């Protein structure tokens, strides 16, 4: 395993992680504003449950399609232009959302969330694509785990900070303060990525990119992805349908079941799973880079789904405290996230690895040819899941997805995840009104068990 040389890859990782920290902070604002927002808007409990579901669905529904085209957009316009467009979409959408809360207009709130979602999910594809390119030749599982952990810190910060801001300054000021904080960090991260040449890949000469590679890399196609990629997409759809939607109602559920309606206390313990997840994600990412220590991604995903089922089954029992299940949930989230993105990275890089090699048109612009040097270009090798690591072509340069192959792979799974989240969010709104919080827990148990079955099939293909 090769280790990225120098500090620049880690600065790039910090920038893409910070970009997503800001997005994930505003993603969970409707849920953490919770009952104070309901009172401000003058809604009944059932009306507010539908509104929260609609706000999360508005974030997700456009992204059932748009991330799918991100690979083609990167191929056509380049990462820099797409990155700038997504930042503008997120910031303008959150500004509209804040103004809509101020005036109490539901439809405008939904419009703002739609714009935030359009920018947020495509920026996630870009962030993952950039990180994959910079760490593809070593420590990719660790890098993606660190990035995912930083995203979850956005949710942790939101769940802890926002209820206290609401208590101190009221729901309107809390919304503005949280939005200003997250959008400020997002702007700084975007500027760092745009000025550091991160989107061009590690040290690729601009002339080479413009004339020899980008002009001749074939348009990415879904036919390039192996069967194992599509199976891991199914696993992701089931798992994220449960994990992404649980926070929508978790604070209200915990406050009602364990804290006599105290939203601040519920918000504090809501941070437990994400804090534990953030602590364990780097460890699990490191171990997945050494599969002889922890096993492969399918076995890790199976264990994570079993843990998820046990957590939600425990919520159906008569517990006196939610702390232990929330700790187990944090472990499950860490293992699930690390294994899922590690497995996806290997699958999309396998598709990239088999892409036809572009032909040079300028022989006077040689490709990097020092096999002993660190990968200081956009070229490298990838070991498919069944390989032993002793690739006979290990010293030959291969494409890196500059034409959008890896972005397409991440875009497809992001579209599927948002489809799952949107559908499950709407389903949970209906179930909550029909069967209460216990009905929600039954849905989560069912999704986790279905995910475990899908992981068994994934393990047979790996």
Give residue-wise pLDDT tens across range 149-175.
Answer: 888 788 878 878 888 899 899 999 999
Q: Interior CA angle at 150 toward 272 and 77, to 5°?
A: 145
How much of the chain, in percent, has pLDDT values that exceed 90? Answer: 34
Q: What are residue 262's phi and psi, to 5 degrees?
A: -75, 105
Structure confidence by residue, pLDDT tens digits, 333-372: 999 999 999 999 988 888 766 544 433 444 443 433 443 3
Could you tell me the residue range of the domain that residue 203 belongs to?
8-461
d(CA 282, CA 304): 16
Q: Which residues contact 366 (CB under 8 A, 6 or more apart)?
A: none
Average pLDDT over residues 434-438: 88
Average pLDDT along the chain? 80
d(CA 260, CA 250): 14
pLDDT interval class at 280 (50, 70, 90)? very high
So what's the pLDDT on residue 214?
Answer: 44
Count of the separate structural domains present in the chain: 1
Domain-located, residue 3: no
Helix or strand holding residue 235 (H, E): helix 227-243
Domain-located, residue 219: yes
Please give the residue that has the higher pLDDT: either 452 or 150.
Answer: 452
Structure confidence by residue, pLDDT tens digits, 401-426: 444 688 888 999 988 888 888 788 88
Domain-located, residue 1: no
CATH assignment of the domain containing 279: 1.20.1250.20
Strand partners, 206: none
So what's the pLDDT on residue 361?
Answer: 40
Neighbour-count burial for 195-212, b at 16+ CB within 10 Å, e otherwise: eeebbbbbebeeebbeeb
Encoded tokens for 355: 């892409």
Structure confidence by residue, pLDDT tens digits, 105-137: 888 999 999 999 888 888 889 999 889 888 877
pTM of the model: 0.76
So what's the pLDDT on residue 250?
Answer: 85
Domain-located, residue 2: no
Domain-located, residue 298: yes
d(CA 441, CA 443): 5
Average pLDDT over residues 3-23: 82
So what's the pLDDT on residue 222?
Answer: 80
> If we measure between CA atoms, which residue out of 243, 335, 332, 329 comes closest to residue 288?
335
So what's the pLDDT on residue 282?
Answer: 92
For helices 79-103 and 29-41, give the axis angle rounded to 10 degrees.
Answer: 20
d(CA 373, CA 348): 24
What is the residue-wise DSSP string for 358-402?
Answer: PPPS-TTSPPP--TTS---SS-B----TT--S--TTTTS-B--ST
Cβ atoms of 21 and 182 within 8 Å: the answer is yes
So what's the pLDDT on residue 374?
Answer: 37
Structure confidence by residue, pLDDT tens digits, 237-265: 999 888 888 887 888 888 888 888 887 78
Encoded tokens for 235: 């696993």
Q: Please, which contacts does 224-227 make with residues 24 or more away whose CB atoms are closer than 8 Å?
A: 224/351, 224/352, 224/354, 224/355, 224/405, 225/347, 225/348, 225/351, 225/409, 225/412, 226/347, 226/350, 226/351, 227/461
How much of the chain, in percent, has pLDDT values that exceed 70? Answer: 81
So what's the pLDDT on residue 353?
Answer: 61
Domain-located, residue 302: yes
pLDDT at 322 over 60: yes
d(CA 63, CA 120): 9
d(CA 392, CA 374): 18
Average pLDDT over residues 69-91: 87
d(CA 194, CA 181): 20
So what's the pLDDT on residue 6?
Answer: 65
Encoded tokens for 16: 């893409």
pLDDT at 215 over 80: no
Domain-located, residue 284: yes
């Amino acid at each position: 395993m090769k280790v990225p040389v120098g500090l620049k890859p880690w600065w790039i990782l910090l920038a893409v992680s910070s970009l997503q920290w800001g997005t994930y902070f505003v993603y969970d604002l409707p849920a953490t504003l919770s009952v104070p927002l309901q009172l401000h808007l003058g809604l009944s409990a059932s009306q507010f449950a539908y509104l929260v579901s609609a706000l999360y669905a508005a974030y997700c529904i456009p992204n059932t399609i748009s991330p799918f085209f991100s690979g083609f957009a990167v191929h056509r316009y380049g990462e820099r232009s797409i990155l700038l467009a997504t930042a503008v979409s997120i910031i303008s959408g959150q500004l509209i959302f804040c103004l809509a809360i101020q005036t109490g207009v539901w439809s405008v709130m939904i419009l703002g969330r739609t714009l935030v979602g359009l920018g947020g999910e495509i920026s996630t594809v870009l962030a993952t694509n950039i990180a994959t390119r910079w760490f593809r030749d070593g420590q990719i599982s660790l890098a993606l785990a660190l990035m995912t952990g930083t995203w979850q810190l956005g949710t942790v910060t939101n769940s802890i900070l926002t209820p206290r801001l609401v208590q101190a300054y009221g729901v309107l000021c809390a919304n503005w303060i949280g939005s200003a904080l997250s959008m400020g960090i997002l702007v700084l991260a975007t500027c760092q990525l745009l000025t550091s040449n991160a989107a061009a890949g590690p040290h690729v000469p601009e002339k080479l990119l413009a004339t020899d590679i980008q002009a001749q890399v074939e348009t990415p196609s879904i036919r390039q992805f192996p069967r194992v990629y599509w199976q891991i997409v199914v696993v992701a759809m089931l798992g994220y349908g449960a994990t992404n939607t649980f926070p929508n109602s978790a604070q209200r559920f915990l406050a009602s079941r364990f804290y006599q309606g105290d939203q601040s206390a519920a918000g504090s313990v809501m941070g437990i799973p994400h804090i534990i997840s953030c602590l364990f994600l780097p460890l699990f990412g490191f171990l997945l880079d050494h599969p002889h220590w922890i096993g492969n991604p399918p076995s890790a995903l199976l264990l994570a789904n079993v843990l998820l089922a046990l957590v939600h089954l425990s919520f159906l029992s008569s517990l006196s405290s939610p702390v232990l299940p929330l700790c187990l949930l944090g472990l499950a989230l860490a293992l699930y996230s690390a294994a899922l993105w590690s497995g996806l990275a290997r699958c999309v890089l396998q598709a990239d690895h088999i892409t036809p090699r572009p032909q040079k048109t300028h022989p006077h612009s040689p490709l990097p040819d020092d096999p002993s040097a660190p990968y200081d270009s956009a070229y490298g090798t990838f070991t498919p899941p069944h390989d032993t690591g002793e690739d006979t072509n290990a010293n030959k340069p291969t494409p890196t997805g500059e034409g959008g192959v890896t972005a397409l792979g991440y875009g497809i799974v992001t579209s599927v995840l948002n489809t799952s989240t949107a559908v499950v969010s709407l389903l949970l709104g209906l179930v909550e009104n029909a069967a209460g919080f216990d009905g929600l827990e039954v849905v989560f148990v069912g999704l986790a068990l279905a995910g475990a079955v899908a992981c068994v099939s994934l393990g047979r293909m790996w």
